[in-house]
Amino acid sequence: MWQIGPIKIKSKAILAPMAGVTGHPFRVLCKAQGAGLVYTEFVSANGIIRENEKTLELMKFTESERPIGVQIFGETPEVLAQSAKYIEAVVKPDLIDLNFGCPVPKVTKKGAGSAILKDLPLMDEVARAVVEAVSIPVTAKIRSGWNNGCIVAPVAAAALQEAGIAALTLHPRTTKQLYTGEADWSLITETRKSISIPLIGNGDIRSAEDAKRMIDETNCDAVMIGRRALGNPWIFNEINDYLQTGELPTPVRLMDRIRLCHHHLLMEVEERGEYHATNYIKKHLSWYLKGFPGAAAYRKRLYRHMQFVDMEAEISQIKAELEANPDLANLAYREQGPLFPNVHASRDHY
């Protein structure tokens, strides 16, 4: 158990905010598999104060997802503060997270996201304005800096703590790096020394062993999992078990993956309606179904459907085939290998 302000968090493994991915259904699945804390994807502070319908949709959540953070981005302190007030009063999450890490030009060219790391006085102003505007904890998520000549994480972290930020997440890549190269965990170690608030380490965790290594090496309080959770919500329980016992749970079987595909599809239908869910779920299905012999053929079978009824029938057909083939149904394997470096989610290129 660790905590952010008064919020008690049961697991050290938390789900990263991911645009186009971490909607309500996926958050529920990760929570059920042991994620200690989940976030919405980044939400525009401007959109919130204009009460844009689509923007407000992004912040809907259910009680089972608590503790949950709503992540906001923007460049104007007053707008961010006003949006935070709205969130606290209307949306009522457990915490608000400030996005100071988004590297997408559409966002950074306005001075929002990780562009703010080039203007630490503005970052300070934003953090203070939002902390003052609400009574729930405000956290922040940063990258290491703008580029190799501007690595600011330890200094920015100390300033954010001073401004009243309750916990910090660090993804130690620069904006210019996007997802290339490696996350420089030594910056997490360095940043740990500059603050006493909880520090969440993030970047390139591919396994429970990696999660433990990050905690041991950097002394961070918790780890945030992004890409390794795609198609793999089981990672959270793997990390929990490994941290507690040094043992990994049995890997999930192919049959469990297919069952989850079905369950996730139905949750998305509930969320977005049959038509949109059938298209939207395809990327998740391709993440669930990879890494075993014949995976491409299953993906192809599911990908071709445009109608919910057809896709559901195909999933049922695959389930029936697996039932008839216990060796395949019981095929169990753990997600490994490289993270998807080029995963781009919608709105549209985080």
Q: Contact with ligand FMN (CB under 6 A): which of 41, 184, 238, 335?
A: 41
Q: Select the span of 46-54, 94-102, 265-273, 303-311 touching ligand FMN (CB under 6 A).
A: 94-102
Q: How far is the CB of 344 from ligand FMN (least distance, A)?
A: 6
Q: How far is the CB of 113 from ligand FMN (least distance, A)?
A: 8
Sketch the per residue contact string, 162 through 191, with ligand FMN: x for CB under 6 A, - otherwise. ---------x--------------------
Between 18 and 311, name the residue whose CB sits nearer to ligand FMN: 18
Q: How far is the CB of 297 from ligand FMN (least distance, A)?
A: 26
Determine, following the binding rule CB under 6 A, whether residue 141 of this chain makes contact with ligand FMN: yes
Between 319 and 334, name the residue whose CB sits nearer to ligand FMN: 334
Between 82 and 175, name the residue whose CB sits nearer to ligand FMN: 175
Distance CA 13, CA 180 (A): 23
Between 70 and 269, name the residue whose CB sits nearer to ligand FMN: 70
Q: Contact with ligand FMN (CB under 6 A): which of 21, 59, 116, 188?
A: 21
Token pair 């939400």 in the structure block, residue = 43
Between 16 and 157, name the residue whose CB sits nearer to ligand FMN: 16
- Alpha-helical runs (H) found in the chain: 24-32, 45-49, 53-57, 77-86, 105-108, 120-133, 153-162, 185-194, 208-218, 235-245, 254-272, 274-288, 295-303, 308-323, 326-329
Gap between the terminal Cα atoms of the chain:
31
Between 157 and 315, name the residue whose CB sits nearer to ligand FMN: 157
Token couple for 35 = 């994620």
Q: Contact with ligand FMN (CB under 6 A): which of 26, 42, 86, 287?
A: 42
Token couple for 255 = 């049959």
Distance CA 7, CA 9 (A): 6
Q: How far is the CB of 330 from ligand FMN (least distance, A)?
A: 29
Determine, following the binding rule CB under 6 A, whether residue 16 of this chain makes contact with ligand FMN: yes
Q: Could you confirm whether 102 is annotated as catalytic? A: yes
Which of positions 195-224 make contact with ligand FMN (CB under 6 A)?
202-205
Sketch the per residue contact string, 98 through 117, with ligand FMN: x for CB under 6 A, - otherwise. -x-xx---------------
Assess contact for 97 and 126: CB atoms under 8 A. no
Distance CA 175, CA 104 (A): 8
Which of positions 225-284 make contact with ligand FMN (CB under 6 A)?
225-228
Q: How far is CA 140 from the centre of its chain?
A: 14
Question: Is the four-CA dihedral 173, 177, 183, 189 of positive or negative sign?
Answer: negative
Query: Which of 30, 102, 220, 261 is an active site residue?
Result: 102
DSSP-derived secondary structure for 131-174 = HHH-SS-EEEEEEEESSTT-B-HHHHHHHHHHTT---EEEEEEE
Token couple for 152 = 């600011």
The catalytic site residues sit at: 102
